[in-house]
Amino acid sequence: MTFNRRRFIQAAGAGLSASALGFPAVARAQSGPIRLGLMTVKTGPLASGGIDMERALVQYLKEHNATMAGRKVELFVGDSGGVPAQSRTKLQELVERDKIQIMIGPLDTASALASDDYIRSQQLLTLSVAAAEDMTQRKPNPWFTRGTSTSSQSAQPLADYCAKTLKYKRMLTIADDIAYGHEMCAGFQRVFEDAGGKIVQKLFPPLTVPDYGTYIAQLKTNVDGIFLGFAGSNGFRFYRQFNEYGLRGKVAVVGGMTAFDEAVLRNMGDEALGIITSCWYSADVENAINKRFVANFRVDWGYDPGFYAAATYVEAAVLDATLQKIHGKIEDKQAFMKTVRAITVDTARGPVRFDHLGNVVGNVYIRRVERKDGRLVNRVIQTYPNVSQFWTYKEAEFLKNPVYSRDWPPAKNLES
């Protein structure tokens, strides 16, 4: 029989008691590898981002010799396919078959919502990439911490920028017909209209729509700008057809945090120049951690990391810092949750801290697509520091309202 490291540990555990080894069972468990699960997406329209999530997490582990707080880290990966029911099934496999102790992910809001009750029942430590608003708002999950952002957390500063800096008065929104798209557009609408603007049209194509032609034909052109709330490669697909219909230059386009992600920007040309987006991350962010991250990612994959890659890289840094604080004792779930929500961590996105509901408070960057060294980049042109999931609204008043959706806030300025 060939023994790998895991089989050796299992065989030793079967043949020797804790007392024979001279250590309590808990101490022995805490000296073994940390079992880290990643729930991502490798198939479907979200796959480009999901693959980047895995690449960046593997990079972080490689840079740190697959070790955190003195303990080796074993990685187990699940592919949800972007299907909520499948995400729940794959998560069960990671927990019950692979015995993961903590999960990074899932990628998409719908999968996070589908896994919410299972995360609670298993008390599964979770560092989320998904932006599901209510899991850190009206229905907070005590085992869930998010170091990226809610769906609307980056859209709200962009709405402020559109109204106050770009001086837009009339806009329309278009996004994937999923919770992430609904929540992002709702947050954008609320802030834009509170600043005096009007959202005069809202469109929600299906996530897997094969062609955007019927939606592009409906677009109003007597507006100052269009907000794109697409995920994965859909922003690229929409904008390519937008150009084919001859609309480029006739209506300004701004994008949410994943509409023109670096994962798809590398496939675009000069048609993308000048597009303004907002996100909690850019490969252009000037700090030493990010410079190292970007350089190493480019060596391995030949392009800049974006939202999806940075998400797992940042969550890995949060995990690492938390484990350092608790001396690697991931088995103490209560101590982990208390610690992770109290720390401040310097990361590739900048400093990260959390509110009492487990959601990040951090920088949001306004970015403009420019050409640098022959490639397209999302250059940072303005920073909104210490952005909360509640924007500038009072938390108590914010939470009295329904969660952001297709129907809230009410769209009072729509034009037929």
Q: What is residue 30's predicted lDDT score, i.e. its pLDDT?
A: 59
Work out whether strand 360-372 and strand 375-387 pair parallel, antiparallel, or are unpaired: antiparallel
Q: What is residue 15's predicted lDDT score, i.e. its pLDDT?
A: 35
Q: What is residue 263's predicted lDDT score, i.e. its pLDDT?
A: 82
- Give the residue from 226, 138, 133 showing the smallest Cα distance to 183: 133
The conformation of residue 393, written as its DSSP 8-state character, comes to S
Which string of b and e fits 280-294 if b means at least 16 CB within 10 Å? bbbbbbeeebbeebb
Token readout for 64 is: 């740190």
The answer to pTM > 0.85 is yes
Parts of the chain with a pLDDT under 70: 1-31
Q: Is 5 exposed, middle or buried (0-12, 13-18, 19+ CB in 10 A)?
A: exposed
Helices (H) and strands (E) in the chain, counts: 15, 15
Query: Which residues make Cβ contacts (< 8 Å) with residue 332, sequence separation at least 6?
Result: 326
- Give the residue from 226, 209, 207 showing the smallest Cα distance to 108: 207
Q: Candidates 2.40.50.220, 3.40.50.2300, 3.30.70.100, 3.40.50.360; correct CATH number of 155-285+363-400? A: 3.40.50.2300
Token readout for 273 is: 């120049």
Cα–Cα dist 199/403, whole Å: 19
Cβ atoms 85, 118 nearer than 8 A:
no
Cβ atoms 354, 345 nearer than 8 A:
no
Distances (CA, A) of 86 to 43, 100, 178: 12, 18, 16
Cβ atoms 188, 155 nearer than 8 A:
yes
Q: What is residue 232's predicted lDDT score, i.e. its pLDDT?
A: 85
Give strand pairing partners of 371: 376
Q: What is residue 12's predicted lDDT score, i.e. its pLDDT?
A: 33
Q: How far apart are the first and last CA of the chain?
A: 72
* Rg of the chain taking only CA atoms, in angstroms: 22
- Give the residue from 227, 127, 163, 160 showing the smallest Cα distance to 391: 160
Q: Are 5-150+286-362 and 155-285+363-400 equal in CATH topology?
A: yes
Structural domain boundaries in the chain: 5-150+286-362, 155-285+363-400
User: What would the DSSP string read from start to end of 88-124?
Assistant: HHHHHHHHHTS--SEEE--SSHHHHHHHHHHHHHHT-
- Could you say which architecture CATH assigns to the domain 5-150+286-362? 3-Layer(aba) Sandwich (3.40)
